[in-house]
Each structure stands twice: as structure tokens, then as C-alpha cells.
């Protein structure tokens, strides 16, 4: 499990962002950090979420409230895409059987 963790300090230095940005994202529930022996880490899956927030913030100047709204809408979109995929599979099955 620890192999999948990367320190938030390293990420901030790499992306040239303030650690407060990550803290604020966490307060909004947009990323989730893990603390091990007083060091704050991010799971690789969470890293992808953080990088998405960094890109949206830098490219489109979206603020925290905007990022929160985007994340919620994207989650809904992913759910719907999965549902469509499952329905397509079911429809294929239906066509095969009948």
C-alpha cells in the first residue's frame, strides 16, 4: 500500500503549488490525504484528482467552489457513462438471446 503513496510536499514542489491549495481541496472533499508519522501523503488515485484540480485551476482559473461543482458533475457523468456501458452490454445480451 505504501508504495502507492507520494508525499504531498514532493507533489507541491513538483507542480509549484502551495500546500495550502491541497489543504483547501481536502477541506472541500476534493482530495483525501493520508498521514503517516506526521508526513502527509497522497494515494496515486488521489494524485490524479489533485492534478485534475491543478490543471483546471491553472488553465481555466476555476476557483475552489468551481472545482467542487466540476468534481460533482464529473462524478455524475462517470456514473452515467458506466450505466450506459452496462446497458449497452445488456442490450447486446438481449439481442443475442432473442
Taking the least distance from each CB to other proteins, the nearer of 37 and 98 is 98
CB of 37 to other proteins, least distance (A): 24
What does DSSP say about strands 5-7 and 39-43: parallel, antiparallel, or unpaired? antiparallel
* Residue 64 near residue 28 (C-beta atoms within 8 A): yes
* Residue 33 near residue 65 (C-beta atoms within 8 A): no
Q: Which three cell numbers stand for residue 40?
A: 502527509
CB of 5 to other proteins, least distance (A): 12
Q: Would you tell me which residues interact with other proteins (CB under 8 A)? A: 14-15, 44, 47-48, 51-52, 55-56, 59-61, 70, 74, 77-78, 81, 85-86, 88-90, 93, 96-97
Amino acid at each position: 500500500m505504501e508504495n502507492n503513496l507520494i508525499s504531498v510536499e514532493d507533489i507541491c514542489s513538483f507542480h509549484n503549488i502551495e500546500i495550502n491549495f491541497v489543504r483547501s481541496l481536502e477541506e472541500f472533499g476534493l482530495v483525501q490525504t493520508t498521514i503517516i508519522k506526521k508526513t502527509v501523503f497522497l494515494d496515486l488515485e488521489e494524485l490524479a484528482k489533485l492534478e485534475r484540480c491543478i490543471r483546471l485551476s491553472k488553465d481555466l482559473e476555476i476557483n475552489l467552489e468551481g472545482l467542487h461543482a466540476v468534481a460533482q458533475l464529473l462524478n455524475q457523468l462517470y456514473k452515467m457513462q458506466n450505466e450506459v456501458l452496462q446497458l449497452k452490454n445488456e442490450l447486446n445480451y438481449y439481442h443475442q438471446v432473442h
